Structure 1
Amino acid sequence: MSKHVASTNLLAPPLISSPTDAPTHRYWLRAGWVMAASGWSANQFSALLGAYRSDLGLTTTTTTALFAIYVLGMIPGLLLGGPLADRRGRRPVVFFALATSALATCLLMAGPAVSALLWPGRFLTGIGAGALLAAGSAWIKELSTPPHGTAAGPGAAARRSGLFLSAGFASGGLAASLIAQWAPHPMVTAYIPHLVLSAFAALCAARAPESAPALNIVTPSATATSPEQGDTSSASMFRCLVAPVAPWVFAAPAVAFATLPGLVDDDLKGWETVYAGVITAITPSAGLLVTPFARRLAARHRIATGVSGLLAIALGLVLAAVAAANTQPVVALVAAAVLGGGYGLCVAYGLTEVAVLAPPHQLARLTSRFWALAYVGFIAPYVITLLTKLFTPPSILVGAAALALVTLAAVAYLGTRHSQHAH
């Protein structure tokens, strides 16, 4: 695989960069805040689903559809943002996405007055978050490679993106729910922290240099591997080892955020919003806690992290079924934590594989494909809502757990076969 990532000089022209001794290993911290803003924007709405049902009178089907329409914006945001970041650079895509995300939040704040604005607000939230993920993940990975000294491996760079994203997920939902529970005009004031975080992320990212390899000076030795050969191999590996796992990355937390609270909140008596916020905090927090475990698993076997993540998701879905069958909020919290652990393992696995497989000039493109497949999982609550017309929620959750185990078996088989062929 060719390696021709060069760092950029802050004073260099925008389309041509030159090597520098700047400590780029610190710049990834600045770029990381855009990932936190993306996670926050996605999850702040999740904790307010109960409030929209009770205060605005929206039906469960409507609120679940609003939750899912985010994915319809996320897909084009990812599929367009990734290739655009490879061609034009990470910085312009990130700043455009931050502005789009802030506009979306403003539309959501106007939702209590004009409920129709919730639809474009959620759609634009998806576009902004998708473009941030595509460009931001690639930016952090490249800025994790200093011009001199020891570079961070693909696993470390992937975990950095996942840490910031999970921090945004965990904080956004909890903050929105606490504000909605006690602050005046809750469905307006709950969104203010995201605007503040977006401005802070923009200020931090403004100090980080461009890092896209396509915009840097490439040395002749950088073409050691045939692009066609490398791209074909990468695409095949991506289809076999990454694509099957990707939808489970966000199917797991989406079930915890949008499905579980409504199945167990009969005895909460006015604390439904806070409970939903606690779940939206516990789930990604568990994803953060499994990061060291993900590192050890990856050192043992290439697919161990992904397989363990799918196993955790299957267990979490079974626990969710038990919680729903017995209306047990405490068991639901445990299920959310297990689902969050599965999410953390799967996202670390997916981003690490993408960082290994992608040629430098196509890193954002392949990253965007991973995130696009991952965010398909966000429609899981809507599918569950539709299926409840035919089956009980516990049986649907058990069926989902069985599907996760089938995916696990397929990935384990394909990964083992690849290892045998590699040797």
Structure 2
Amino acid sequence: MTTTAPPAASRTTRTARRPTRHRHWLRTGWVMTTSGWSANQFSALLGAYHSDLGLTEATTTALFGVYVLGLIPGLFLGGPAADRRGRRPVVFAALALSALATVLLMAGSTATGLLWPGRFLTGIGAGALLSAGSAWIKELSSPPYDTRSTAGAAARRSGLFLSAGFATGGLVAALIAQWAPAPMITAYLPHLALSVTAALLASRTPETARTGGLGAARTPDAPAPGPAPGPAFRRLVAPVAPWVFVAPSIALATLPGLVDAELTGWQTVYAGLVTAVTPGAGLAVAPLARRLAARHRTATAVTGLAAVIVGLLLAAFAVARIRPDAALLAAAALGAGYGLCVAYGLTEVAALAPPDRLARLTARFWALCYLGFCTPYAITLLTGLFAPATVLLVVAVPAAATLALIAHRGARRGVRQGGRQGARPTA
């Protein structure tokens, strides 16, 4: 008995109906990891700069914050450039700039004046990577590149890769600084290797934005440009965005120095542990973010802000009692708040932005997020007038106000997945 092969047309039809799931986003994700790594590798070395190079606490905190001054133009230049020129060229340029910034930080071990441009350029490179990388992952998680991903998948993927960079960058830098020779040089070498790896992987990833007409980027099969999503962004995303990095910046730059007085010789390792626990908790809450978003997207933000408040209360207790163990719990709570808030923000941005404005709106979101990085410097100034624990308790007040505001606006809007707006794919 012989078998007859099905007609070629039938095979083609079945193949066309089969959902596609290319994993190009896996390669692009390392761009986000590189961005997080570049930001946090310096955080774990703050104590070493203070003790070994004699930099004052105000100087090290200012160096931590000057990153934001570079990040803002990086976001606002990188986002529109990625929409006009494409994701790939912006990512390559940002990776090169980020590597240059790391070289300047390495040279800063002998010429401390180079730390300032190093941190500034770190911010520019990280900002461009965030805006272009987030948009690239979103498009690679959507048709025609991926027709099987669920709503919100791109936001979770971006957040996971970014959190992985934050967690591992700080921890690796701290471990190297504790035991390796020339720690303020060798601690930065892994980032250079990661930058090269991310560039190689990105070179194998398809470009998702096509420039046409007057130079506006278009994704494959994208609709015509739509209206700017200003009001919804201002009402539901902008209030939450700063808390994305208020939480981890307090955990990374403020808490260790206030509770490590009895950890003589182990301060750097403890700081590295905090830099791993904080974003690590952000990684751990990804399944919770997915379940919350499936019920009500605003619930992700409400839960995230609640975690931030719990973290601030624990931080105040840890500082008042000088309890490093309690500070680790606070860092975990703050990190969970970070993870939930960033997942909420990226999901909302992906739902609101027309394809031709995706990178720009993503840049606006990250710019507002990174305003939170100024918080440690403000806390340092206020602790000259008030007890640190009191200042941390005061920070919890606007967090609670934001929670109440978003809960109220979310209830009024009534956004539920599968509803009128929730039916639109968000990632």
**What is the TM-score of this pair, normalised by structure 1?**
0.91
- Give the C-alpha shift of residue 67 in structure 1: 0.1
Kindly indicate which of the two structures has a greater share of residues assigned to helix: 1
Mapping of residues 209-288 of structure 1, within 5 Å = 209-212=206-209, 214=211, 215-216=217-218, 222-223=223-224, 227-228=226-227, 231=228, 234-288=229-283
Relative distance call for 1:380 and 1:420 in structure 2 (3 A) is closer
Which residue matches 1:50?
A: 47
Indicate the residue corresponding to 1:122 in structure 2: 119
The equivalent residue for 1:135 is 132
Counterpart CA distance in 2 for 1:248 and 1:255 is 11
Out of 55, 64, 69, which is 1:67 matched to? 64
- The DSSP-based 3-state class of the residue aligned with 1:196 is helix
CA distance in 2, matches of 1:149, 1:33: 18
In the TM superposition, what whole-angstrom CA distance separates every residue of 1:211-266 from its partner, at most 9, and x where no partner exists? 025545876x934xx723xx2xx211100000000000011000000000000011
Q: Distance in 1 between matches of 2:220 and 2:130?
A: 26
How much does 1:150 deviate? Answer: 2.5
Which residue of structure 2 aligns with residue 33 of structure 1? Answer: 30
Q: Write the letter of the residue equivalent to 1:48.
A: L
Deviations 1:28-81 (A, max 9, x none): 111110100000000000000000000000000000000000000000000111
What is the aligned-residue RMSD (CA, Å)?
Answer: 1.9
Per-residue CA deviations over 1:267-316 (Å, capped at 9, x if unaligned) read 00110000000000000000000000000001111200001000000100
Contact kept, 8 Å, 2:350 with 2:358, in 1: the verdict is yes
Measure, in 2, the Cα distance between the counterparts of 1:108 and 1:22.
46
Residue by residue, what CA displacement relative to the aligned partner does 1:139-173 show, whole Å, maximum 9, x if unpaired? 00101124277242441110000110000000000
Distance 1:217 1:250, change over 3 A: closer
Once residues 118 and 259 of structure 2 are traced to their aligned partners in structure 1, the CA distance between those partners, rounded to angstroms, is 28
1:183 alignment partner in structure 2? 180
* 8 Å Cα contact 1:316-1:335 kept in structure 2: yes
CA shift in 2, pair 1:24/1:105, >3 Å: farther
CA distance in 1, matches of 2:331, 2:415: 36
CA distance in 2, matches of 1:98, 1:149: 26
1:182-203 Cα deviation digits (max 9, x unpaired): 0000000000000000000000
In the alignment, the residues of structure 1 paired with residue 105 and residue 297 of structure 2 have an alpha-carbon distance, to the nearest angstrom, of 42
Check conservation: 1:102, 1:198, Cα contact below 8 A: yes
The separation in 1 between residues aligned to 2:361 and 2:145, in whole angstroms, is 26
The answer to whether residue 202 in structure 2 is matched with residue 205 in structure 1 is yes
User: For the residues of structure 1 that align with 2:263 and 2:145, how far apart are their CA atoms?
Assistant: 56
Structure 1 residue 419, shift from structure 2 partner: 2.0
CA contact (8 A) 1:264 1:328 kept: yes
Distance in 2 separating the partners of 1:114 and 1:420: 53
Which residue among 381, 386, 390 is the counterpart of 2:381?
386
Letter in 2 for 1:158: A
1:302 aligns with 2:303: no
In 2: Cα distance, 1:164 partner to 1:420 partner? 27
- Aligned position for 1:314: 309
Instruction: In structure 2, give the amino acid aligned to 1:45.
Output: F
Write the distance in 1 (CA, Å) between the matches of 2:231 and 2:22. Answer: 31
> Which letter does structure 1 place at the counterpart of 2:226?
P
Tell whether the 8 Å contact from 1:306 to 1:345 is kept in structure 2 after alignment.
yes
Conservation of the 8 A alpha-carbon contact between 1:253 and 1:340: yes
Q: Distance in 2 between matches of 1:384 and 1:49?
A: 16
State the 1:418 CA deviation: 1.8
Give the match for residue 357 of structure 2. 362
**Contact 1:24–1:143 under 8 Å retained in 2:** no
Change (3 A) 1:30 1:23: farther
Equivalent position amino acid for 1:227 in 2 = G
Q: Provide the C-alpha distance between the structure 2 equivalents of 1:149 and 1:291, rounded to a whole number of angstroms.
A: 20
TM-score w.r.t. length of structure 2: 0.90
Distance 1:405 1:251 in 2: 13
Aligned to 1:25, what secondary structure does the other structure show? coil
The answer to whether the 8 Å contact 1:251/1:377 transfers is yes
* Contact kept in structure 1, 2:278 and 2:331, CA below 8 Å: yes
Give aligned pairs, total.
396
Distance of aligned partners of 1:264 and 1:346 in 2 relative to their CA distance in 1, 3 Å threshold: same
